[in-house]
């Protein structure tokens, strides 16, 4: 049981980076649709750099950089050129995937370096949760810390409040002296870098190495989980762990049910669509209208200014 928990937490780590990163970006009102391509590109870059230099840390840094660059392009085209963020994001999805498969050709199926396990003595021996939380490596510890930090930042910190204001009511935020577009650029960069870390966490930790379409589909899954998780880091992470659990279970059942691995990627989507239908159903809204607190928790809304460019 301990081992199962530990493998779920580890399997979900890349997705946690990507989905929490995207949640931060979207909270500021920028939608970076390029995730599926960004993750592929950063997984390839991370592996290629680590393979060439022999240093895993450098691979993570390069992956974060390249993915932040893609996010910057989305933000810039929206903020400065006032283009449709969805259009630019979609083009970048395909372009980043194509670049990954072109530049990654020499690294296909090469054995390479990976993140070393670093269990924390004593703590890792705590029953049930010990191995899951303290028997991992730096990449997985980072994902756990990120969830806590992002949750605190958005809900409790002053800049987090400003960031949310920028995503909900940019006009009001602007009137209160907040530099809306600076916040948006920063949120896109930070979120993009986290997506890149997620890509590297695939190729250097969870799904070692590089092949064409190595992480295909995970970007769309991350985007779906952001919605499913209501743009809140803790719930987004919960969605990722749910998917991680599905992955681990599918892996164990694969010998008995052939084809399960191929069908797995489609599972989050019916779930997400169901969640969205539930959220938008008039009946449930009426039922919950009496208690604002419960309904706000159960039925989160998208940031009001999501994808809308702001002109000061």
Partner 1 sequence: MTRRIASFLVPLAVALGITALLLIVAGAPPLEALGLIGEGAFGDTTRIADTLTAWIPLGMAAAGLVVTFRAGLWNIGVEGQIIAGAIAASAVSRSAPGGPAIVIPLLLLAGVLGGALWGWLAGILRVKGRVNEIFGGIGLGFVAQSFATYLVIGPWKRAGVASTSGTEPFREETWLPTIGDTRLSWVGLTLLVIALVGVGFMLGRTRFGLRLRAVGSNPASARLLGVPANATLYWAFLWGGGLAGLAGGLLVAGLQHKLVPAIAGGRGFLAVLVVLLARNRVAFVAPIALFFAAISVGSSQLQLRLDLDSSLGAVIQGVLVLAAVLYAGWQARRVLVKRLAASAEATV
Q: Is position 105 an interface residue for partner 1 (rule: CB under 8 A)?
A: yes
Site string for partner 1, 37-76 (x = CB under 8 A): ----------------------------------------
Q: How far is the CB of 119 from partner 1 (least distance, A)?
A: 36
Kindly tell me which of 133 and 195 has the beta carbon lying closer to partner 1: 195
Q: How many CA within 13 A on the CB side of residue 192?
A: 29
Q: Is position 220 an interface residue for partner 1 (rule: CB under 8 A)?
A: yes
> In this chain, which of 6, 61, 88, 166 binds partner 1, going by CB under 8 A?
88
Kindly tell me which of 91 and 234 has the beta carbon lying closer to partner 1: 91
Q: Is position 86 an interface residue for partner 1 (rule: CB under 8 A)?
A: yes
Q: Rounded to a whole number, what is the distance in angstroms from the first to the last CA of the chain?
A: 54
Q: How far is the CB of 91 from partner 1 (least distance, A)?
A: 5
Q: Which stretch binds partner 1 (CB under 8 A): 4-12, 110-118, 154-162, 257-265?
A: 257-265
Kindly tell me which of 148 and 257 has the beta carbon lying closer to partner 1: 257
Count the Cβ atoms, other than its own, within 10 Å of residue 84.
Answer: 14
Alpha helices for 118-177 (secondary structure H): 130-134, 138-156, 158-168, 170-175
Q: Is position 87 an interface residue for partner 1 (rule: CB under 8 A)?
A: yes
Q: How many CA within 13 A on the CB side of residue 178?
A: 24
Q: Is position 255 an interface residue for partner 1 (rule: CB under 8 A)?
A: no
**Chain CA centroid to CA 77, Å:** 22
Q: Is position 287 an interface residue for partner 1 (rule: CB under 8 A)?
A: no
Concatenating the DSSP letter of every residue in 228-262 gives HTTT-HHHHHHHHHHHHHHHHHHHHHTTTSTTHHH
Q: How far is the CB of 105 from partner 1 (least distance, A)?
A: 4
CA dist list (Å): 67 to 62, 93, 188, 264 = 9, 11, 10, 26
Binding-site residue total for partner 1 (CB under 8 A)?
40
User: Which three-class secondary structure string do you get for 203-234?
Assistant: HHHHCCCECCCCCCCHHHHHHHHHHHCCCCHH
Kindly tell me which of 128 and 278 has the beta carbon lying closer to partner 1: 278
Copy the structure tokens of residue 287. 């039922």
Q: How far is the CB of 24 from partner 1 (least distance, A)?
A: 19
Q: How many CA within 13 A on the CB side of residue 102?
A: 7
Contacting residues for 165 by C-beta, under 8 A, at least 6 apart: 172, 173, 176, 178
Copy the structure tokens of residue 76. 């810039």
Q: How far is the CB of 271 from partner 1 (least distance, A)?
A: 9
Residue position matching structure tokens 């630019």? 88
> In this chain, which of 280, 287, 289, 304 binds partner 1, going by CB under 8 A?
280
CA dist list (Å): 125 to 3, 176, 272 = 12, 51, 36
Q: Is position 223 an interface residue for partner 1 (rule: CB under 8 A)?
A: yes
Q: Is position 258 an interface residue for partner 1 (rule: CB under 8 A)?
A: yes
Kindly tell me which of 64 and 221 has the beta carbon lying closer to partner 1: 221
Binding residues vs partner 1 (CB under 8 A): 33, 77, 80-83, 86-88, 90-92, 94-95, 97-99, 101-102, 105, 212, 217, 220, 223-224, 227, 258-259, 262-263, 265-266, 269-270, 272-273, 276-277, 280-281
């Amino acid at each position: 049981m301990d081992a199962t928990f530990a493998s779920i937490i580890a399997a979900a780590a890349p997705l946690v980076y990507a989905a929490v990163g995207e949640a931060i970006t979207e909270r500021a009102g920028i939608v970076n649709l390029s995730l599926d391509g960004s993750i592929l590109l950063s997984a390839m870059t991370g592996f290629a750099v680590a393979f060439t230099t022999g240093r895993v840390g450098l691979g993570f840094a390069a992956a974060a950089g390249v993915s932040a660059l893609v996010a910057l392009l989305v933000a810039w085209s929206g903020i400065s050129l006032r283009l449709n963020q969805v259009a630019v994001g979609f083009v970048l999805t395909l372009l980043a995937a194509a670049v990954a498969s072109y530049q990654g050709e020499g690294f296909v199926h090469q054995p390479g370096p990976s993140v070393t396990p670093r269990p924390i003595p004593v703590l890792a021996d705590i029953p049930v949760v010990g191995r899951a939380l303290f028997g991992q490596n730096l990449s997985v510890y980072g994902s756990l810390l990120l969830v806590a930090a992002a949750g605190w930042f958005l809900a409790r910190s002053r800049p987090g409040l400003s960031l949310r204001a920028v995503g909900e009511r940019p006009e009001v935020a602007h009137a209160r002296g907040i530099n809306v577009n600076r916040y948006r650029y920063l949120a896109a960069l930070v979120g993009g870098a986290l997506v890149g870390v997620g890509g590297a966490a695939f190729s250097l930790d969870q799904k070692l190495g590089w092949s064409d379409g190595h992480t295909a589909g995970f970007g769309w899954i991350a985007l779906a989980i952001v919605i499913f998780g209501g743009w809140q880091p803790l719930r987004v992470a919960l969605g990722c762990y749910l998917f991680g659990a599905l992955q681990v279970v599918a892996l164990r059942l694969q010998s008995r049910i052939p084809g399960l691995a191929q069908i797995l990627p489609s599972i989050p989507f019916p779930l997400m669509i169901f969640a969205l239908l539930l959220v938008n159903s008039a009946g449930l809204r009426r039922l919950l209208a009496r208690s604002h607190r419960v309904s706000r928790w159960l039925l989160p809304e998208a940031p009001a200014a999501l994808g809308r460019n702001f002109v000061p």
